Chain A
Amino acid sequence: MTTAATRTTTYAWIALCAITILSWWLAPAHGHGEPVGPSMPITVAVIALGFIKGRMIIRYFMEVRTAPRWIKLATDAWLVVLWAAVLAIYLV
């Protein structure tokens, strides 16, 4: 049973996995022995990716794309506040 809906869900899953693999590549704990230093651009990228992954799960897996407006607003608001706070605390 492959319909437009299931195809969209599967594309979302593939994208999410791809982003995860990208994050894995960016991460510090590769265990090569030498200590890794902090990196603002990488962290900002990680925060952005975290936001994107979160929104994709909400919109596609949780089906918020077709949900009532208050759920769309509430979930978006949470994502924005959380990641903005994380970014702000990191940068300060």
Chain B
Amino acid sequence: MTNTDQTASDLDIAGPSHSAARPVHMPGDGAMWVMVLGDFIIFGSYFVIFMIYRAMAPHEFLESQQHLNLNVGALNTLVLLTSSWFVARSVQAVRAGDHSRGLRLTYLGGLCGVLFIVIKAYEWTAKVAAGYTMPSNQFFMFYYMLTGVHLFHVGLGLLILGIVVRELRNPRRRRLSMVESGATYWHMVDLLWIVIFALLYVMR
């Protein structure tokens, strides 16, 4: 009964096809994929512009990078990856009909999201206290803006996970497509952070 891709017990199936060994199933609804792909493109443009400005002042950027708190950044990456792991497993649980487990895992994912925000707030506070603010130089402007707009996405993600929780707690709803859509958004947030971590903290 716990086959990944067949949704025996759920009301909503978004377009499976039964051709190959792994049936095709679109996670969530198409609208969320418009959001994800569009956000990827918009952020992609920001990342490319970042790289261009980096290429214009590589020493300044490299020197500024070294003032970032790498341990905190890496920790936050692990926190977000773990939150995505919880959310991915919650989708699988809901698909298998185990709604209370799905609910628990969604809560855990959201908790990790809150932890990410708290850690980020600490990181920013430390940076500002050390004198690195938005106008310090171009690198720090990018740092605050990219991590800031990402944080906005995390906040939105928590709102969305909240909606998923509401969905799962109501026995008359529990639509799989809604849980999947919420998860898709959350993974996007995780993925965008991976890129930010690589470009701001790690690459040299």
Contacts and interface: CB of A to CB of B under 8 A. Distances in A.
A38 B74 contact: no
A66 B202 contact: no
Contacts of A47: 198, 203
A47 B55 CA distance: 15
Contact of A30 (B70, B87, B96): B70
Q: Is the interface of A mostly helix, strand, loop or mixed?
A: helix
Nearest to B59: A38
Given A23-B197, A23-B198, A30-B70, A66 B24 contact: yes
B195 interface: yes
Contacts of A82: 40, 44, 47-48, 195
Interface in A51-92: 53-54, 57-58, 60-68, 71, 74-75, 78, 81-82, 85-86, 89-90, 92
B70 to A, nearest CB: 4
Q: Is the interface of B mostly helix, strand, loop or mixed?
A: helix
A68 B28 CA distance: 12
Contact of A42 (B26, B81, B204): B204
How many B residues touch the partner, as a band?
Answer: 35 or more
A68 B62 CA distance: 41
Nearest to A89: B51
Given A17-B78, A28-B204, A5 B2 contact: yes
B27 interface: yes
A71 B2 contact: no
A46 B199 CA distance: 9
Interface of A: 1, 3-6, 9-10, 13, 16-17, 20-21, 23-24, 26-31, 35-39, 42-43, 46-47, 49-50, 53-54, 57-58, 60-68, 71, 74-75, 78, 81-82, 85-86, 89-90, 92
Interface of B: 2-5, 15, 22-27, 33, 37, 40-41, 44, 47-48, 51-52, 54-55, 58, 62-63, 65-71, 74, 77-78, 81-82, 84-85, 87-89, 91-93, 96, 98, 101, 180, 183-184, 187-188, 190-191, 194-195, 197-199, 201-204
